[in-house]
Amino acid sequence: MTFIQTPGLPGVFYRRLSSMLRRYLFEIVLAVLILCGLIAAAFYL
């Protein structure tokens, strides 16, 4: 694979990454909250 610096590439990559992050942000936050809740419950019980 050859990586050629083109002016449009970082913008397209950033837009694709931000769109993917917005799509999966709720699931990621929910998973982190569930994991933190399980760890806290394990410590408190």
DSSP string covering 5-34:
--THHHHHHHHHHHHHHHHHHHHHHHHHHH
Tens digit of each residue's pLDDT (9 = 90 or more) over 19-45: 888 888 889 999 999 999 999 999 988
What local confidence, expressed as pLDDT, does residue 9 receive? 63
What local confidence, expressed as pLDDT, does residue 41 receive? 93
Phi and psi angles of residue 3, each rounded to the nearest 5 degrees, phi first: -105, 110
What local confidence, expressed as pLDDT, does residue 4 receive? 58
Whether the pLDDT of residue 3 is over 70: the answer is no
Place 7 in a pLDDT band, splitting at 50, 70 and 90: low
